[in-house]
């Protein structure tokens, strides 16, 4: 019998279940002698041997179900080599659980930190195959990650809903979209939702230019404006500071709940316009997976099963030019796929009049 371990790690997203289903259904068809061991709450389950042998029927009826039937947790990569509060070596514990259960392979569904840990386990001699999960779409080596399109749909719907109230009251509305380090989600949702201004971590903004864009809209008879702001958006002024300098600056200034509230306060101070902030927050990771993600998850899962059949370990399953491919974990772990300020989609957005606060 071949025993396969499976876990979902890091932040949840809408199509984790759909991806696990894709893997399981393909595995069960490839062999009658397969047993899948599910680890509870991500790497935590692997560390502390919290697992269960999955029944085949558990993978039925979950294609449209958001979240993860295995649960998930964040286990920061930078702390993986740090013993827990009881002195347990987490890496050795994971290896011990893997070997104790006589696993042929461990399947990891996760984002950047999870991929780094997957690569670490590969370096430690374990057979690992990973799948690209994140609503941020920031994993190197893949054109798209599962969960991204579903999150785009939720964030876009939030912007759509704001349009009617913004138009009714003639206000400036800021919609804060998830994305600390990268702005793919804000970029796509902003364009899809018809935002007038989009502020991303990769394109530091000049507040004067943001205000100029608002004034231009007012001058052209537009009574309201929508600004899509990534939670990691940063001004040109702050981007020029060192981490230490920025930390000191924040200590000495007004403390805002997030960057959107700071931008909103400055806009009101400078223009007198009424500003409202909306933060969809974790709604963007919740709900059912959209049809696109269901198809993508199924394809990724099936390919992961084929890699297991071929004993082709140490890879992440990825998407390139709409084809499902494998990428060595050693090539993608620790790399971030950010928005290039000169990429075509940004240029095209600017061509239709969207401001990014940079020119």
Structure token digits, residue 232: 């990691």
Please give the sequence-ordered ranges of beta strands (E in DSSP) within the chain, or none if there are none: 2-8, 34-39, 51-53, 105-110, 128-132, 172-177, 197-199, 225-230, 275-278, 315-320, 323-328
Neighbouring C-beta atoms of residue 326, cutoff 10 Å: 18
CB neighbours (10 Å) of residue 48? 17
- Report the distance separating Cα 118 and Cα 116, nearest Å: 5
CA atoms of 197 and 199, how far apart (whole Å): 7
Q: Give the residue from 219, 216, 182, 223 showing the smallest Cα distance to 199.
A: 182
Query: Would you state the structure tokens that stand for residue 182, as one six-digit string?
Result: 């990268």
Two tokens, residue 173: 């509305």
Cα angle, residue 45 at apex, residues 44 and 50 outer, rounded to 5°? 140
Report yes or no: 211 and 218 within 8 Å, Cβ to Cβ. Answer: no
Cα of 169 vs its chain's centroid, Å:
33
Return left, alpha or beta for 49; rule: phi > 0 is left, psi -120 to 50 is alpha, else beta.
Answer: left
Helix locations, 101-242, DSSP H:
112-123, 148-169, 184-192, 207-219, 236-239
- Coil, helix or strand at residue 7: strand
Active-site positions?
136
């Amino acid at each position: 019998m071949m025993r396969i371990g499976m876990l979902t790690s890091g932040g949840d997203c809408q199509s984790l279940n759909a991806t696990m289903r894709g893997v399981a259904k393909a595995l069960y068809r490839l062999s009658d002698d397969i047993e899948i061991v599910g680890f509870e709450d991500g790497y935590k389950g692997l560390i502390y041997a919290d697992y269960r042998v999955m029944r085949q029927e558990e993978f039925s009826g979950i294609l449209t179900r958001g979240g993860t039937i295995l649960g998930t947790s964040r286990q920061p990569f930078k702390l993986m080599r740090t013993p827990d509060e009881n002195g347990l070596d987490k890496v050795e514990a994971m290896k011990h659980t893997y070997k104790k259960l006589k696993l042929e392979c461990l399947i990891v569904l996760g984002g950047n930190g999870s991929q780094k840990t997957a690569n670490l386990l590969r370096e430690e001699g374990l057979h690992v195959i990973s799948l690209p999960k994140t609503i941020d779409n920031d994993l190197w080596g893949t054109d798209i990650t599962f969960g991204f399109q579903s999150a785009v749909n939720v964030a876009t719907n939030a912007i759509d809903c704001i349009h009617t109230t913004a138009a009714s009251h003639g206000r400036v509305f800021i919609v804060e979209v998830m994305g600390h380090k990268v702005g793919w989600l804000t970029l796509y949702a902003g364009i899809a939702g018809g935002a007038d201004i989009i502020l991303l971590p990769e394109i530091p903004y000049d507040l004067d230019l943001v205000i100029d864009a608002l004034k231009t809209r007012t001058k052209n008879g537009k009574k309201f404006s929508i600004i899509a702001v990534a939670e990691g958006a940063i001004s040109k002024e702050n981007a020029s500071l060192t981490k230490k300098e920025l930390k000191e600056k924040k200590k000495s200034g007004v403390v805002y709940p997030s960057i959107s509230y700071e931008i909103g306060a400055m806009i009101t101070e400078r223009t007198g316009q009424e500003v409202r902030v909306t933060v969809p927050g974790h709604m963007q990771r919740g709900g059912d997976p959209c049809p696109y993600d269901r198809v993508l998850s199924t394809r990724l899962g099936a390919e992961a099963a084929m890699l297991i059949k071929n004993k082709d370990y140490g890879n992440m399953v990825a998407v390139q030019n709409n084809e499902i491919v494998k990428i060595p974990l050693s090539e993608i772990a620790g790399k971030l796929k950010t928005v290039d300020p000169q990429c075509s989609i940004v240029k095209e957005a600017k061509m239709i009049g969207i401001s990014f606060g940079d020119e």
